[in-house]
Amino acid sequence: MLEIDSKKYKTPLFICDDLTLMLLPSCFSHSLTKNQTIYVLERKVGKKGFVTQKLKENQIKRKQVELILEKLRNFLQWIEEYALSNSEVSIATHHNLSNKILNYYINDILIDKLKKSEGVVKKHVSALKAYYNYLANAGFTNIKNLMIEPRLQEQARDNKKPRTAVKYLTPELRSIIYQNTSSIRDELLLKTSGEVGLRSKENVGILLNDFEVGNKKHKGLLSLFKEMKDNPTKDEFKFYLQGKYTKAPRNGFGQPRNIFFTRELLLRMKEYYDNERPESDSDHFFLNDDTVYFGTPISVKRASLVFTKVCESVLEKQKNGMLPLDGQLLEKDHTHHVLRHSFGTDKFYYLAESRQIAIDNVTATSIVYLTVARLMGHNAEGEYASKTTKKYIRSCNIKKDFEEKQQWF
């Protein structure tokens, strides 16, 4: 699933992977953006004790519009992924999902699995109510009863506790994680974060064939494979990641950027293409290999899901003493994003070192930070630039600590 900003309608539109319009979410997005109103369920108890309910329009602020659409996007992406293992659920029928499925997403997924806090989950609930009340008012579905179930209320409150895991994985630990994947594809989905700096969703933007953006032609992977063969001494290969596949700010389009594959990584990608990738007409490089969606593009959350699954295996092996215990250990709080952050930390560290700049002296205007910001797709001139710089400085110091400890073994 993709989300694009329509210049004509001045609103985000939801698009399926085959580029067909997701009608109901897009209509809701257009209405919400244009009118800044939602439908709220109002219940009244009459004199004889009878309860009546109706949907009443309620004005909201622009920030609430953006938040609702963000949470709706998260939900639709989950539906896409959940449908891979449940044939009774699909994007095409998501408007008629039962209360049971919707509350399963709120409670079992958001609270129990993803460890979202009570405050965050309440925002998801409000967003889903806004969407399904809109559909109910239009006659597409019935009113849904969405809630945080009593059995998980305490856990939701406990989830507010901050994560304690450090936001850096050593190259040795990253290697262990890659080795515990079950396929070349899954290995690559993690390496594109740990060695290239991609977000999970950005893997969808890796394309096979050449493409044009603004009348400029860019090489797809097939051309890079040929370039690698024709230039046996070349070690780095550039790929243009289009803005429609990157993380977009709330009020605009994602920023395109150049990403770089090492020869070793590109050779592994060629191996996946030759030996494991399903035969398909799709131009997307990474494809599903399950029986239901065989040969279709992966979802934007696939890399994150792979990381979660692999980490369960690595944590179990650590617990049973099946992995080295003299280096950094994986922690339960580590997420897929830490791979990308580790890539950025390594680049930040080595750029500062090569220019003989003390890590703690790097600023948001330094060539070190600006270079890393471009590689990561960060807005180097935004209001959060200095905060991002401080995060890298902290992570670089963590990296130094790990390297100093490793010298003792």
- At residue 145, does pLDDT exceed 70? yes
Q: Indicate the domain borders of the chain.
A: 2-158, 171-406
Q: 250 pLDDT band (50/70/90 cuts)?
A: very low
Residue 42 CB partners (closer than 8 Å, separation 6+): 53, 54, 55, 56
- Per-residue pLDDT tens for 33-74? 999 999 998 877 776 777 778 899 999 998 899 899 999 999
pLDDT at residue 182, rounded to an integer = 96
**How much is the average pLDDT of 271-300?**
93
pLDDT greater than 50 at residue 89: yes
Minimum mean pLDDT range among 46-55, 61-70, 233-242, 398-407: 46-55
Over pLDDT 90: what percentage of the chain? 68
pLDDT the model gives residue 329: 92
Residue 408 in this model has a pLDDT that exceeds 50: no
**Is 1 a residue whose pLDDT tops 80?**
no
Q: What is the pTM of this model?
A: 0.70
What mean pLDDT is predicted for residues 217-224? 98
Between 39 and 15, residue with greater pLDDT: 39
The CATH code of the domain at 171-406 is 1.10.443.10
User: What span, in angstroms and rounded, lies between the C-alpha atoms of 231 and 196?
Assistant: 21
Q: Which pLDDT score is estimated for 253?
A: 57
**Nearest CA-CA partner of 172 in 324, 30, 394, 387:** 324
The structure tokens listed for 354 are 């090569």
Confidence of residue 406 (pLDDT cuts 50, 70, 90): low
Query: Would you state the structure tokens that stand for residue 337, as one six-digit string?
Result: 């994003």
Q: Whose CA is closest to 213, among 277, 257, 178?
A: 257
213-224 mean pLDDT: 96
Phi, psi of 277 (to 5 degrees): -65, 130
Report angle CA 127, 131, 133 to the nearest 5 degrees: 115
pLDDT of residue 392: 93
pLDDT-based confidence at residue 168 (cuts at 50, 70, 90): very high
- 13-27, 66-80, 258-272 — which one is most confidently predicted on average? 258-272
- Give me 126's structure tokens: 């409000």
Question: Confidence class of residue 185 from pLDDT cuts 50, 70 and 90?
Answer: very high
Mean pLDDT over the full length of the chain: 90
Tell me the β-bridge partners of 58.
Answer: 38
Task: Tell whether the model's pLDDT for residue 249 goes beyond 90.
Answer: no
Residue 409 has pLDDT above 70, yes or no: no
Query: Can you say whether the dihedral through the CA atoms of 297, 310, 342, 264 is positive or negative?
Result: negative
The answer for residues whose C-beta is within 8 angstroms of residue 201's C-beta and 6 or more apart is: 245, 246, 247, 300, 301
Q: Token pair of 396, please?
A: 């670089």
Model confidence band, residue 184 (pLDDT cutoffs 50, 70, 90)? very high
